[in-house]
Amino acid sequence: MHVTFTEEELAFREEVRSFFRTEISQNIQDKQSQRVPLEREDQIQFQKALFDKGWAGYNWPVEYGGTGWSLVQKYIFQAEMADANMPGIVTFGLGMVGPIIYTFGSDEQKQRFLPDILESNIWWCQGYSEPGSGSDLASLKTRADRDGDDYIVNGTKFWTTLGQYADWIFCLVRTSSDVARRQEGISFLLIDMQTPGVSVKPIITIDGVHEVNEVHFEDVRVPAANLVGEEGKGWTYGKVLLQHERTGTAGVARTQYRLRNIRTQAQRSVRGATPLCEDRNFMRKIAAVEVELKALEYTELRTLASISSGEAPGAESSILKFKGTELQQAVDELYVEAAGYYALPYVPEQYVLGFPDEDRIGEGVETDSSLRYFNFRKASIYGGSNEIQKNIIAKHVLGL
């Protein structure tokens, strides 16, 4: 596959580059360049800037507020967003539940939820995993029992990313146990996080960050109108959502940016030390990742082509997920190796805007390399573990 840009596409690329340089808050750009964690308001501000430009739903159909972009335009947009070191879009609303609602939801649900998702007025989180139900999601135990015009929800969701910020959560829940296959008794439900009986408990990860949560439901009353599609068909909808999640999880453009960045760093001599570019073994590792990343990029382009023609991503999404996360972790290892002993200390104050340069350790960004390395061990687990993805590929591609 060979990508050649037309004059119109090159003009589009310049428009995207200019937008990210001039239309995004300097505060957000500074935080990104210095690895300062973004607040909820920063992320919403970024996504609203995309909405104001008409680009928030770049993967959505035109009839629901999408851009109508071609495959190549989507590819350019993703590449330029990564190359500008932009935050990326929080995927739970725009990339996950939005497509499920406009594909399977009722007209009332589309009118109620889609405009706020597109404008980032509502923050969504995902309620899939449970204690004891991760990769084997069909074993989930959170129940939703029908009571008149409502469902009564009881159970616990686990590893809920950014659930502390969320206004709503989309959940897979068990609505029936009297089924031949466990997957048949699962439904897809939308739940307001402010509903009485919903509680959020933080889980602090190894890097000391409050990123994930435990969400508990105790006799939570949810209108039956919040059921997406048919009762008992949630497994089907959830698989479609996971295919979109896995496609996005690959993070090809972002990994390419990080790899270019570390290649640039390898050219520099820090405090008179021999630059890493003279270490043939280190440069060989970079080259090996680059080759695999280029192959994955072409797989992503094929998947985007399928999505652009109206198809859902298939088993290719599993290839993107497991290989993409493996390459992300490989780049994390390169950053730790490049940081050397600067990866050992961690001074949180360094990751606050305005911290004096003369007080920084190393170049000022190395000390979080090991923390990112440990945190992103999870990348090969979330969205369906990589072992599960290989089983999917064996079944649907190889016919085993």
DSSP 310: T
179 and 233 Cβ atoms separated by less than 8 Å: no
pLDDT exceeds 90 at position 37:
no
Q: Among 80, 245, 297, 300, which one carries the catalytic annotation?
A: 245
Q: How confident is the model over 131-142, as a mean pLDDT?
A: 83
DSSP 269-286: PSTTPPPGGG-HHHHHHH
The model's confidence at residue 363, banded by pLDDT at 50, 70 and 90, is low
Q: What is the mean pLDDT of residues 227-245?
A: 83
**Percentage of the chain exceeding pLDDT 70:** 90
Give yes or no for residue 244 having a pLDDT over 60. no
Q: Out of 13-27, 134-148, 336-350, pick the least confident.
A: 336-350
Give the pLDDT of residue 389: 81
Q: What is the pLDDT of residue 224?
A: 97
Closest by CA to 154, choosing from 143, 145, 167, 164, is 143
Q: Checking DSSP bridges between strand 198-204 and strand 168-174, what pairing results, if any?
A: unpaired
Using the predicted structure, report yes or no on whether residue 114 has a pLDDT greater than 90: yes
Active site residue 245: yes
Inter-CA distances, 309 with 89, 255, 306, 312, Å: 23, 26, 5, 9
Task: State the pTM of this model.
Answer: 0.84
- Domains of the chain (ranges; CATH) run 7-89 (no CATH), 123-232 (2.40.110.10), 250-396 (1.20.140.10)
Contact of 202 with 187, CB cutoff 8 Å = no
Give the pLDDT band of residue 322 (cuts 50, 70, 90): confident
pLDDT band at 118 (very low <50, low <70, confident <90, very high): very high
Task: Report the mean per-residue pLDDT for the chain.
Answer: 87
Local confidence band at 388 (pLDDT 50, 70, 90 cut-offs):
confident
As a whole number, mean pLDDT of residues 202-217 equals 91
Task: Specify the pLDDT at position 25.
Answer: 94
Lowest mean per-residue pLDDT among 87-101, 119-133, 199-213, 377-391: 377-391
